[in-house]
Structure 1
Amino acid sequence: MASRKLADAASWYCATALLALILFASIRENSSTPDNDDLVRGKHFNDFMTNRPCDEIYVVGEGETLHTISDKCGDPYIVERNPHIHDPDDVFPGLVIKITPTE
């Protein structure tokens, strides 16, 4: 009987600790201050590092498309200059592309 109470107490302690860790991670993930991962993504990295809108090596950010990047960076030939892009509609955050502005 005592071992059953001890096991129940240990289970409740573990469940509470796990819940606290999940809540802490959720709060940290949703904080408004950018962390190092945010600085590596597309416009955040470029705005942080230079006054130019785009560097030669560009990391696609959340919600960006090749069309928006092309307009922003002045490179209408992104697909032709990046042979690793097989489908222009399959662009995702973190994809690294080469930019050659024509403007």
Structure 2
Amino acid sequence: MAGVRSSTAMAEKVSWYCALLLALMLALSCCDSTESEYMVPVNWNDLNKPCDEIYVVREGETLHTISEKCGDQYIVEENPHIHEPDDVFPGLVIKINPFKNR
């Protein structure tokens, strides 16, 4: 009888250790990803700068966001190489005429 009790006690200990190990692995897997993977870096100094007349499109920008940022509603009309507003991609060079220059 004593052998059965010690086997049962040993099995309970092993199952508790397995449960603790599993809980630890789950907790660590939730913390594996860092926030920086999902965050877009922002250069706060660029936000208040006026746009130059020659502008290079950055990742994630659209004509709408550039128009708001630079104060130029007529980007498509001033850039004949842009045939569709959706033709914007990072590295595209466009001409900007902010309101203050008009």
What is the TM-score of this pair, normalised by structure 1?
0.51
Q: Aligned pair count?
A: 60
Pick one of 52, 63, 70 that aligns with 1:55.
52
Runs of at least 5 residues in structure 1 that lack an aligned partner in the other structure: 1-29, 31-42
Alignment of 1:80-91 (within 5 A): 80-91=77-88
- Give deviations 1:46-77, integer Å, cap 9, x for gaps: 83xxx633100000000000000000000000
- Give deviations 1:16-59, integer Å, cap 9, x for gaps: xxxxxxxxxxxxxx9xxxxxxxxxxxx96x83xxx633100000
How many percent of aligned residue pairs carry the same amino acid? 79
| SS of residue matched to 1:58 | strand
Residue identity in the other structure for 1:102: F
After superposing on structure 2, the runs of 4+ consecutive aligned residues of structure 1 that deviate more than 3 Å are: none
Residue identity in the other structure for 2:88: V
Coordinate RMSD, CA, aligned: 2.5
Runs of at least 5 residues in structure 2 that lack an aligned partner in the other structure: 1-36
Alignment of 1:3-82 (within 5 A): 47=46, 52-82=49-79
Residue identity in the other structure for 1:83: P
| SS of residue matched to 1:97 | strand
What is the TM-score of this pair, normalised by structure 2?
0.51
Q: Highest CA radius of gyration, 1 or 2?
A: 2
Match of 2:95 in 1: 98
